[in-house]
Amino acid sequence: MADPAKDTVCVPAALSGYQILCDPRLNKGTAFSDEERDRFGLHGLLPPNVATMDGQIARRLTALRSFSTDVERYSFLRDLQDTNETLFYGLLSNNVKELLPIVYTPTVGAGCRHFSQLFRRPRGVFLSLPHRAHIRQILANPHFDRTEVIVVTDGERILGLGDQGVGGMGIPIGKLALYTACGGIAPATALPIFLDVGTDNEYILKDPLYVGWRHSRVRGQEYDDFIEDFIAAVHERWPHVMLQWEDFAKSNATRLLERYRDRLCTFNDDIQGTAAVATGTLLSAINVTGVPLTEQRIAVFGAGSAGCGIAALIMAAMIDAGLPAREAARRFYLVDRDGLLLEGMPDIASFQRPFLQPRDAVASWQRSGDRIGLLDVIENAKPTALIGVSAQTNAFNETVVRAMAAHNKHPIIFPLSNPVSCAEADPADVERWSEGRAVIGTGSPFPPLMRGGESFSVDQTNNSYIFPGVGLGAVATQAARITDTMFMAAAKALAELSPAKRNPQANLLPPVTALRDVAISIAVAVGKQAVAEGLTSGVTADTVEAAVHAKMWTARYRPYRRAGAND
């Protein structure tokens, strides 16, 4: 916790009595001092003992641990966030290892599925297509005046769970919780937004408790026009805002990013954040395997926007390392539902085209069927790394893992799909099938492995290592745009923090307890890259670090005074 002695500046508060207790940004609960209770009419509304934040955290932690399921813990934390925001972030920041899996993946997936049943208090903004004409009026609410970071979704591709309708709002709320706890973004400046264009999930539509718009999902020009109205209103309301796209379907994710990436400061975390953490972790894995980046061969299972985003950033890193572009592209083997992506295949998306393998390059391959499946790729191409973003449970089965281990002393195997129920493999199985030789990274948290008789934590190759720092760097420097080279800077900064860089027997990534320090390092790297590209004003390479630290918010109670006094 920060030193309370530094909290000498009083915060003006216009509310009093029950009103201030019901405002999550101002509420301190039992931590209101006697003087503040006098000042704001709180005597009798609170028990007489004045608590400290540390004492409140201990009380909430005891209550949290008494629940029997993670969904109950998730609901408890959401209630705390909506009643006392400062205490919520104090609890989360001080117990990030224990609580990260609750507020984020994997439990946030269950939170999305049960969003309507758990809904109690409003948080963020719900923009539904029937209210399209009122977007500017809704966003004009003075409660949102300080907004600097927006996370937005339309709920169509939530983790590996698919269309969750309005339940997808759980993702922006969860992401922004990490922006604050790990990236130091002040919660009053963070705004989750849900774009409600309906849902094609029949189960949800038939649920009498569903709180979203009961309509089939709108697509085509009407959808595009709604997105355009939203972006125009956002840019008009907050010209310097940073907007993160989250969990949009493959058909929309890449094209929306390309349409708006040069119009405002924006990025897609599923494409670029996933790519950066995978690239950074792969660069870290080289310290263990000893195989240079220019000699890596990468098989990606799941050739959607996330898989292609990963491949594109790793390929850019290979080119940076000296590999000719054409040769670098041939080192990627992307496998989707129709098998290995090949030249001449129908229905190839634009973002998949750079990774099409020439048909003559695979003409002599031995294959098990008409299409070239994942195992065929492993047996013929002998990839050094296998990355999964398919949401296909157990796709990396014993045969696949043993094939990877047969061709590599230390196969790199990253089952990255979230939540745990959608992971391509369980790390314990990968460890056993590879005889303890695999270098493993997962998208969700898993129990530790046993190596050499000692517990070894599984590296969570998750976007939480990337997006808080990228957002912090962009906001601190007021970057006009977020570029792919800024994500490359983030990936390389993450790799520099790898414990394996100093000890090949150590983990690939820092522990999650260090996520705040990781965010600072990445923010500085991203900010300096933005300066180098001329995307900032008023910030130089020498002042980026100071700007980053000046922007960081810490969860602590500030003293209050009545608004109007001494103003």
Q: Does the annotation flag 320 for ligand binding? A: no
- CA 472, distance to chain mean position in Å, is 13
The three state secondary structure string of 272-287 is: HHHHHHHHHHHHHHHH
Q: Please state whether beta strands 265-268 and 298-301 pair in parallel, antiparallel, or not at all (unpaired).
A: unpaired
Distance CA(53)–CA(321), nearest Å, equals 49
* H/E element, 511: none
Distance CA(507)–CA(326), nearest Å, equals 33
Is 560 annotated as catalytic? Answer: no
- CA 103, distance to chain mean position in Å, is 12
Out of 175, 492, 528, 551, the active site residue is 175
Distance CA(135)–CA(126), nearest Å, equals 10
Q: Does the annotation flag 270 for ligand binding? A: yes
* Amino acid making up residue 552: M
Judging by beta carbons within 10 Å of its beta carbon (0-12, 13-18, 19+), is residue 503 exposed, middle or buried? exposed
Is 501 annotated as catalytic? Answer: no
Q: Does the annotation flag 247 for ligand binding? A: yes
97 half-sphere exposure, CB direction, 13 A CA radius: 10
Tally of CB atoms within 10 A around 487 = 28
| Cβ–Cβ under 8 Å, residues 518 and 307 | no
The three state secondary structure string of 63-87 is: HHHHCCCHHHHHHHHHHHHHHCHHH
Distance CA(463)–CA(440), nearest Å, equals 16
Tally of CB atoms within 10 A around 397 = 14
Distance CA(181)–CA(87), nearest Å, equals 11
Q: Please state whether beta strands 242-245 and 265-268 pair in parallel, antiparallel, or not at all (unpaired).
A: parallel
**How is residue 553 annotated by DSSP?**
-
Whose tokens are 């005891």? That residue is 62
How would you label 383-392 residue by residue, b for 16+ Cβ within 10 Å and e otherwise? bbbbbbbbbb
| Cβ–Cβ under 8 Å, residues 312 and 275 | yes
| Cβ–Cβ under 8 Å, residues 237 and 139 | yes
Q: Does the annotation flag 246 for ligand binding? A: yes
Q: Does the annotation flag 462 for ligand binding? A: yes
Structure tokens at 482: 């977020």
Out of 74, 104, 179, 465, the active site residue is 104
CA dihedral (527, 529, 532, 534) in degrees, to 10, reads: -60
- CA 216, distance to chain mean position in Å, is 27
Q: Does the annotation flag 418 for ligand binding? A: yes
Binding site for a divalent metal cation, by residue number, is 246-247, 270
Binding site, by residue number, is 157, 246-247, 270, 418, 462
* Catalytically active residues, by annotation: 104, 175
Binding site for (S)-malate, by residue number, is 157, 418, 462
